[in-house]
Structure 1
């Protein structure tokens, strides 16, 4: 393998990794059980028949903190059309940090804790934050974003999903 071939292989590998940052998928939403910061239990049944955004995040994640106002704006924009939203804090995030963050920023959607990491595991071993999932009315994960989404594309995916029949 010459140097040119080597760099081509490296370039193709990097391109493959980057393409994985935003992907289409048809995974069915798995079963899960998490606790909302109020103590209420949340499961996949809370989202049946609804377009749902699940955002895996952490208070220590600078991109998560940066994108949260835009996620609030997104929820406010589409909630009257039936959008459900859950910010799901990672297992390593201290519960008091999550509660403080949610309360001081008056997050208007469900904020829950994945205390044992089982939800992140059931959604495909999610480790990187933020990871945002768009789930359609049929309960299929139709888009997965790792990192901050392309907002115009994100809105298009939400709008298309909300417009679809159940």
Structure 2
């Protein structure tokens, strides 16, 4: 009887490992990033569905206290990891353009700001309404992290390091 229990347990473990392997290697995870082009501060174009290096997309609004609070931490992460990833912050369409421009001018953070004045970017990411909301896109265009609320910086930093080993 004990031998049958061991075999059942062994089959269960093998099935579980197979499922985990499938989910981590072959699954789409959180899906493919939308086909959107972003122009960085340096004038480079990033295709979010095939970015070539990790991209953190952060939806924010000037009226969102959590968004404003996490901006300095986003800047620290960008400074620490440098060119290993791109950081794109997308202002919401309900945020007045003048207010966003004023915030950007007063806060020269080391990442790319994009104004989603027509709401197309937020819609492409699944009709984003809550801010902050962030997505980490792998170099193959797969979304590997989504967070509604402030970014979990230690987790995202580790994921970026694994996707872009320092040479």
TM range (shorter): 0.7 to 0.9
> 1:163 maps to which residue?
165
Query: What are structure 2's unaligned runs of at least 5 residues?
Result: 1-27
> 1:99 maps to which residue?
101
- Give the whole-Å Cα distance in 2 for the aligned partners of 1:116 and 1:35: 17
Please, which of 139, 144, 147 is the counterpart of residue 145 of structure 1? Answer: 147
- Give the whole-Å Cα distance in 1 for the aligned partners of 2:46 and 2:157: 25
> 2:77 maps to which residue?
74
- TM score, norm. by length of structure 1: 0.73
1:45 deviation in Å? Answer: 5.9
- TM score, norm. by length of structure 2: 0.73
Query: What are structure 1's unaligned runs of at least 5 residues?
Result: 1-23
Alignment of 1:1-166 (within 5 A): 25-32=29-36, 44=47, 48-80=51-83, 82-163=84-165
1:163 deviation in Å? Answer: 2.9
> 1:5 maps to which residue?
none
User: In 2 relative to 1, CA 148–92 (structure 1 residues): closer, same or farther, beyond 3 Å?
Assistant: same
**Structure with higher RCO (Cα < 8 A, 6+ apart):** 1
Q: CA RMSD in A?
A: 2.6
- Give the whole-Å Cα distance in 1 for the aligned partners of 2:49 and 2:100: 21
1:64 deviation in Å? Answer: 0.0
1:34 deviation in Å? Answer: 6.3
| Total equivalences in the alignment | 138
- Give the whole-Å Cα distance in 2 for the aligned partners of 1:144 and 1:34: 19
Structure 1 stretches of 4+ moved >6 Å: none
